[in-house]
Homo-oligomer: A and B are copies of this chain.
Amino acid sequence: MSNKIKLGVVGYGNLGKGAVKAIKATEDLELVAVFTRRDPEALELDDPDAKAVHIDNAGNYQNDIDVMLLCGGSATDLPEQTPYFASMFNTVDSYDTHAKIPEFYQMVNEVATKHHTTAIISTGWDPGLFSLNRVMADAILPNGENYSFWGKGLSQGHSDAVRRVNGVKNGVQYTIPSEEAIEQVRSGANPELTKSGKHRRVCYVVAEKDADKAAIENEIKTMPNYFADYDTEVNFISEEELERDHSKAPHGGFVIRSGNTGEANKQIYEFSLTLDSNPEFTSSVLVAYARAAHRMSQENQFGAKTVYDVAPAYISPRSAEALRRDYL
């Protein structure tokens, strides 16, 4: 029997696929099974060693799995799946509906406390690493201001909105942080910025044959909520170009805090990610936090936890001695 920490993956979408790959890249973790609501036979797992199991049979794996990585969607999957799985397993999820996190936390905390499991919620990069840096920067530099910028990144919601426009065959939308706004923040000027002042939107659109491109561009640029308040650029490209240049899911962004200490010394704290693949990075974070869920549950630290509750040593595969010797 191996000493590895045994993991299950729930849901085989973008994050689930990323999680299977991320587990393979480690030496201390192993995948027991992928659980899905679909027919497990029909699921084409990239990894020949991986096994797919119907989600209804997950309960049989309580003795075989240390931590379940919950890779379902935040809108409707996780509000059901996290409490359900936290009643039987330690869990890690990436619940990202920021406004509903307090109630999600409370619901999961009740279940996990009652069933003596450790449920780390809302990990990933935002929420997750960005949240961590917002709090650390605020704690260290009380006289200052936090700024979060997102992008360059593919936005699923805005791409969907573009594709719903009349005459659009296909398309994607990138959110791009304004270089000017970033420079202002980095200079320590502490500007007041609105969300639309911080970001531009760039669309790549494949038009239907004979569609009115001017009308499409106008409809996109004036779309309320999505584009009207932003500096928006619309580019028309061919289906081949879309396939060739825009089929990845890059993302990233910055958290910057600009603060003052003493009389007027400017101190700039900055954290940034530049990701070729948003879901592969997010699931790599989930996989690292699985170590923490396992270790904290072994120390009887039960209940719902967030990145704020996890000492960094818990997510590392290395020993405390090695960390002090080689990384401090």
Chain A interface (Cβ < 8 Å from any Cβ of B): 18, 21-22, 25-27, 98, 101-102, 105, 122, 127, 129, 131-132, 134-136, 138-143, 186, 248, 252, 261-262, 265-277, 280-281, 284-285, 288, 291, 306-313, 315-318, 320-321, 323-325, 327-328
Contact = CB atoms under 8 A, between A and B. Distances in A.
A304 to B, nearest CB: 9
Nearest to A25: B142
Given A139-B315, A267-B281, A270-B272, A261 B21 contact: yes
25 contacts: A25-B261, A101-B325, A105-B324, A136-B288, A136-B316, A138-B318, A138-B327, A140-B281, A140-B285, A140-B315, A142-B317, A248-B265, A261-B284, A265-B276, A265-B280, A266-B274, A267-B274, A267-B281, A268-B273, A270-B270, A271-B272, A308-B311, A308-B312, A309-B320, A311-B311
Oligomer copy total? 2
A15 to B, nearest CB: 12
B261 A277 contact: yes
B274 A261 contact: no
Given A102-B325, A328-B131, A277 B267 contact: yes
A261 B280 contact: yes
Nearest to A309: B311
